[in-house]
C-alpha cells in the first residue's frame, strides 16, 4: 500500500506540471490575443496567432524527435518550461508585432519539444497497468485547464494588467520546472554515445521511423487514422464561431454559454472516467468515444437552434475524454520508448501539415458553396471514417494490441 502511494506521489507531481503547462498556455493565449489586438486593431493579426503553432510544428518536427530520444525526457521538459517562462516574461517589452510573433514562434518551438518528451516520459515513469488510469486523470486535468485557464487569464487581466498576468504566468512555468526536479530520472543515458544533431542523423532517424511504421502497420494505421479523424474536428472547430452565429443565429452570450457547458461536459466525463476507467476496456473507450463524438458533430452540423447545439456539444465534450485517454494509452503501450520521441514527432508533423492544408481548403470551400453544406459534408465524412476505424479497432485478431498487463514480451505481430 505504501509503495503504491509513493508511486502515485510521483504521478501526482507529473500531473501537476502538466496542469500548470496547460493552464499557462491558455493564460498567455488570452493575454497575447489582447496585446495583439490592442497593438494592431486587426482581426487578421489575431487570427494569425492560431496558425503559428501548426507552421512551427512543420518546421521543427523534422528534428525534435532526433534530439529528444537521445536525451533525458525529464530535462527536456524542464528546459521547455524555463524557455517558455523567459519568453513569456519578455512579451510585455516587445517593441513591435514582429518581435511578438518572434517570441510566439519560440514558445511554439518549446511546445513542439514538450509534447513528445512528456508523452515519452509518461510511458517511462508509469507502468503499463497504471497508464489507463493515469491518462484518465490526465484527461480530467486537460478538461479542467480548458475551463479554468481562460477564466484565470481573464480574471488576472481584470484584477491586475496584461503585463502582470504574463509575468505571473511566467512564474508558474518556473514552478513547473522546479517540480520536475522531484521526479525520478528513469533513463540511463551515456553522454558519450549521444549522436550530434546533424542532417545525416535526422535522415537516419527518419529511416528508423519509416521502419517502425513498416513493421507495425496496424499501430501506425490506428494512430494515423485517429489523427485524420481529429483533423475533421479541427476543421469544423475552426469555423465554429461563424457557423454558430451566422448560420444558426446564436448570440455572442449564447456562444460563450455553449463553450462553458461543453467544458462542464468534458470535466464530468473526465471525473467519471477517472473513477471507472479500470472497469472499461481500451477498445470500449476508443470505440464508444469515436461513435458518440461522430453523433455529437452530426447533431451540431444539422443544428437549427441554441438547444440542439448545446446537446451536440455536451456529447462532444463528454465523449472526447475516453476517446483521447484510450488512444493515448494504446499509443504508449505499443510504441517502444526508445523511438517514441521520433515517432511522435513525425506523426505530429504529418498532423500539422494536413491541418494547415485542410483548414485553408475548408475556408475556400465554405466561401464557394455554403458553410452549412461544408460542415454537414465534413460530419458525414467523419462518420464514415469512424465506422471504418471502429471495425479496425474491434478486429478479434488485433486484441493483443489493447492488452493492459505488464507483459514485457513483444505483444504485437507485424500486420501483413
pLDDT at 414: 40
pLDDT at 195 over 80: no
100-111 average pLDDT score: 90
Per residue in 283-308, pLDDT tens?
A: 999 999 999 999 999 999 998 888 89
19-33 average pLDDT score: 88
pLDDT at 48 over 80: no
As a whole number, the mean pLDDT across the chain is: 85
pLDDT at 409 over 50: no
Dihedral, CA atoms, 33, 34, 37, 38, nearest 10 degrees? -150
Cβ-proximal residues to 110 (8 Å cutoff; 6+ apart), any chain: 80, 83, 84, 87
Say what angle helices 2-40 and 49-68 make with each other, to 10 degrees: 140
What distance in Å separates the CA atoms of residue 248 and residue 237, rounded to the nearest whole number? 15
Residue 180: pLDDT band (50, 70, 90) is very high
99-127 average pLDDT score: 91
What distance in Å separates the CA atoms of residue 122 and residue 135, rounded to the nearest whole number? 9
Per residue in 333-384, pLDDT tens?
A: 999 998 999 998 888 888 888 887 887 787 777 777 888 888 899 999 999 9
Give the CB-side neighbour count of residue 149, counting CA atoms within 13 A.
23
Predicted TM-score (pTM) of this structure:
0.85
Least confident of 196-205, 207-216, 243-252, 358-367: 358-367
Dihedral, CA atoms, 125, 130, 132, 133, nearest 10 degrees? -110
pLDDT at 31: 86
Amino acid at each position: 500500500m505504501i509503495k503504491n502511494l509513493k508511486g502515485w506521489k510521483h504521478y501526482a507531481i507529473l500531473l501537476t506540471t502538466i496542469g500548470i503547462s496547460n493552464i499557462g498556455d491558455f493564460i498567455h493565449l488570452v493575454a497575447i490575443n489582447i496585446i495583439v489586438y490592442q497593438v494592431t486593431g486587426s482581426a487578421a493579426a489575431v487570427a494569425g496567432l492560431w496558425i503559428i503553432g501548426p507552421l512551427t510544428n512543420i518546421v521543427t518536427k523534422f528534428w525534435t524527435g532526433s534530439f529528444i530520444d537521445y536525451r533525458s525526457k525529464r530535462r527536456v521538459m524542464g528546459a521547455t518550461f524555463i524557455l517558455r517562462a523567459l519568453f513569456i516574461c519578455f512579451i510585455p517589452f516587445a517593441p513591435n508585432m514582429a518581435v511578438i510573433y518572434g517570441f510566439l514562434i519560440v514558445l511554439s518551438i518549446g511546445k513542439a519539444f514538450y509534447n513528445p518528451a512528456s508523452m515519452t516520459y509518461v510511458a517511462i515513469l508509469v507502468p503499463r497497468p497504471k497508464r489507463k488510469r493515469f491518462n484518465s486523470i490526465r484527461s480530467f486535468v486537460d478538461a479542467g485547464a480548458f475551463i479554468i485557464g481562460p477564466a484565470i487569464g481573464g480574471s488576472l487581466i481584470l484584477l491586475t494588467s496584461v503585463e502582470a498576468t504574463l509575468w505571473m504566468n511566467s512564474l508558474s512555468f518556473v514552478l513547473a520546472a522546479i517540480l520536475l526536479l522531484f521526479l525520478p530520472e528513469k533513463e540511463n543515458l551515456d553522454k558519450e554515445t549521444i549522436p550530434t544533431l546533424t542532417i545525416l542523423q535526422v535522415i537516419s532517424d527518419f529511416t528508423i521511423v519509416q521502419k517502425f511504421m513498416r513493421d507495425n502497420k496496424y499501430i501506425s494505421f490506428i494512430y494515423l487514422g485517429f489523427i485524420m479523424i481529429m483533423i475533421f474536428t479541427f476543421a469544423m472547430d475552426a469555423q465554429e464561431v461563424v457557423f454558430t452565429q451566422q448560420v444558426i443565429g446564436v448570440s455572442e452570450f449564447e456562444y460563450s454559454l455553449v463553450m462553458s457547458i461543453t467544458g462542464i461536459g468534458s470535466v464530468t466525463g473526465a471525473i467519471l472516467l477517472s473513477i471507472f476507467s479500470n472497469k472499461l476496456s481500451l477498445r470500449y473507450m476508443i470505440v464508444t468515444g469515436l461513435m458518440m463524438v461522430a453523433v455529437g458533430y452530426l447533431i451540431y452540423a444539422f443544428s437549427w437552434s441554441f438547444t440542439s447545439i448545446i446537446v451536440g456539444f455536451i456529447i462532444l465534450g463528454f465523449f472526447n475524454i475516453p476517446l483521447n485517454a484510450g488512444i493515448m494509452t494504446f499509443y504508449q503501450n505499443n510504441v517502444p520508448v526508445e523511438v517514441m520521441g521520433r515517432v511522435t514527432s513525425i506523426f505530429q508533423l504529418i498532423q500539422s501539415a494536413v491541418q494547415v492544408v485542410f483548414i485553408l481548403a475548408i475556408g475556400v470551400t465554405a466561401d464557394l458553396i455554403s458553410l452549412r453544406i461544408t460542415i454537414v459534408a465534413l460530419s458525414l465524412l467523419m462518420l464514415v471514417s469512424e465506422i471504418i476505424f471502429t471495425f479496425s479497432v474491434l478486429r478479434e485478431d488485433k486484441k493483443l494490441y489493447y492488452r493492459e498487463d505488464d507483459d514485457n514480451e513483444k505483444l504485437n505481430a507485424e500486420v501483413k
